[in-house]
Amino acid sequence: MKSVRAFLELIKFEHTVFALPFAYLGMLLAANGWPGWWKFIWITFAMAAARTLAMGINRIVDRELDAHNPRTARRPLVTGEISLRTAWSGTFISAGALGAAAWQLGPLPLILLPLAMFFLIGYSFTKRFTEFSHFILGFTDGLAPVGAWVAVRGSLFTLSDLPAWLLLTVVTLWIGGFDLIYACQDVDHDRNENLHAIPARRGIAFALRLSSLSHVVMVIILCILGGLVGLGRLYWLAIGLVVVLLFWEHRLVKPNDLTRVNEAFFDINSLIGLALFAGVLGGLAF
């Protein structure tokens, strides 16, 4: 049990609750409401397993980088609180759980599983060779609503599946945009390690401007999505709240003051996820 607790601390399992709204957006829109308890339970299980797999791999492959970064030097895999063997064991178990969930959710989720696994495992390596790593992370998170959509609809490549692709774009821009903000904390470390994070390569001011642009485009696509699906007034109220939260997020972080990055990253983005979920749910109902 001590090893289990250490592994859950390693991957910050409690943050899974912040990621679940992504999947639920795709689930609700695909079903045009409630999809039934069977789909809901397995989509939730798949999302938790996918995040656990991705975070486990991330902590394993980044453990040497983490050891050189003052911000991450106390992570359990660096300090020895958890062994590498335990980390691999938990990661492999989560991969098996994801496979089981895909099998339960239908043929197309199972067919697309290898592609999803490629990104879940591969995104942790991307900052070593491309500045697009922030948006590859966003794309990987964006697979959650797409996967939920596929689990409910059983399709992805028809014109009626356009909302799933819009959701993918929204989450890519949202996560990529605030990962740019988060990466501003590690500029010196990333330069020393020759990593390809945009703040380290192009400066904090550029990264914050690109983050703002990403979130502006994200809101535009959310508006297109609402009009395409025909969501009701509560959705548009939620979009207004999201705009206010994004504005607040960008006001908290300045090129010469990064002291409130964690507040912007964790607190505000969790509220944005919940607002979008509530907006879609309310927009479908009213």
* Model pLDDT for residues 119-175, shown as the tens digit of each residue: 999 999 999 999 999 999 999 999 999 999 999 999 999 999 999 999 999 999 999
Biggest CA–CA distance in the chain, Å, is 53
Q: Taking 70 as the threshold, does the pLDDT of residue 117 lie above it?
A: yes
Q: Taking 70 as the threshold, does the pLDDT of residue 206 lie above it?
A: yes
* Model pLDDT for residues 222-281, shown as the tens digit of each residue: 999 999 999 999 999 999 999 999 999 999 888 888 888 877 777 788 889 899 999 999
Other Cβ atoms within 10 Å of 18 Cβ, number: 17
- Domains of the chain, each with CATH number or no CATH: 2-217 (1.10.357.140)
The count of residues in the chain is 286
Average of per-residue pLDDT across 29-57:
94
| Residue found by looking up tokens 């009626």 in the block | 160
| Residue found by looking up tokens 């709240």 in the block | 241
For residue 254, the cross-strand partners are 257
* Model pLDDT for residues 72-89, shown as the tens digit of each residue: 998 888 988 888 998 999
Angle at 132 between CA 140 and CA 244, to 5 degrees: 70
| Residue found by looking up tokens 């502006």 in the block | 216
* Model pLDDT for residues 267-282, shown as the tens digit of each residue: 788 889 899 999 999 9
The region of weakest confidence among 3-17, 24-38, 165-179, 202-216 is 3-17
Average of per-residue pLDDT across 189-212:
96
pTM of the predicted structure, to 2 decimals = 0.94
Structure tokens belonging to residue 233? 């007034």
**According to the model, what pLDDT value does residue 225 have?**
97
Computed over every residue of the chain, the mean pLDDT equals: 92
Identify the CA nearest to 164 among candidates 219, 117, 229.
229
Give me the amino acid identity at 113. Answer: L
**According to the model, what pLDDT value does residue 17 have?**
67
